[in-house]
Each structure stands twice: as structure tokens, then as C-alpha cells.
Amino acid sequence: ELYYLLLLNEEYDIPVIDKTTLKRLLEKPCFDSNLYVDTEEVSCSILARLRKNDKCNSLFELIDAFAKNNVCLQFYMNPIKWDKIDLIKPNWINYCDDDTVKVLLDNRIIREKVKEYIANDDYGRLSYNRIWSLM
């Protein structure tokens, strides 16, 4: 439910995320494992964008609390300065903006992780053109 509401909120600018709803959804987030949908990655990237939006300041406390225990969200909060490179999953890069991807790919370790992901993962191949053009 968190994934879908965050998508509605961001993609269609439908304000379905309020403090009460977000609190309930973050208590037990359901990040389904699906071959073609990265629910946790998409959800965390949207949460990080909400955290940077001053209009959503009523949600900041909830997002910050959730980030304490979610490595993926910690990454999206500040991907360029995040120093735990060994924990970065290559599919996380897919949900960063192009400028951020370019900076991240300057790091040899991240670049190799992404190359391997593109070459060996079916879902990685779907993002091949975008990522490769940024390398």
C-alpha cells in the first residue's frame, strides 16, 4: 500500500500521503519481492524526495525515524555523500536523477557494480540504455 500511495502522490500529484497515513504505513511497510518492481527502492526514493520538499515538513519526523532502520532510504537521503559504498545495490542507481547517477558512476566500485547488474540481471537490462548513456 505504501508503494502505491507514494506513486499516486508523486506521479499524479494526488495528495494521499498525510501524517496519519504515512505513520500507519511505515509501521509495517510491505516491500514485496517482485522481479520487475523494486517496491522498496521506489518507495524510499520518493520518501527521500518528500523529505527534501519543505511543503511536506509535517512528514519529516516520520521519514527520519524510518530512515534510522532502512539502509535504502539512508542512501536516497544523500546518495552522493553516502559513504557505505559496499552496501549500495546497483538497482538503487536506477531511481536517482541523471545528475546523481553521473556523479555516482565516477566511483569505480559503483560503476563496476552497475555494469555487472546491467550485464547479468534481466531487470538491469531493461535500464541498460539510460544507465549506459550516463556512463
Q: Which tens digit of pLDDT belongs to each residue from 67-113? A: 999 999 999 999 999 999 999 999 899 899 999 999 999 999 999 99
Higher pLDDT, 121 or 51: 51
- Mean pLDDT over the full length of the chain: 88
- Residue 125 confidence (pLDDT): 62
Half-sphere exposure of 52 (CA within 13 A, CB side): 10
Mean of pLDDT values over 107-135? 77
Higher pLDDT, 90 or 30: 90
pTM of the model: 0.87
- Residue 126 confidence (pLDDT): 63
Every domain of the chain and the residues it spans: 1-77, 83-135
Contacts of 121 (CB under 8 A, 6+ apart): 90, 91
Q: Report, in this order, helix, strand and coil percent for the chain, each rounded to 5.
A: 70, 0, 30
- Residue 127 confidence (pLDDT): 66
- Residue 121 confidence (pLDDT): 66
pLDDT band for position 24 (50/70/90)? very high
- Residue 14 confidence (pLDDT): 79
How many angstroms separate the CA atoms of 9 and 16, rounded?
A: 6
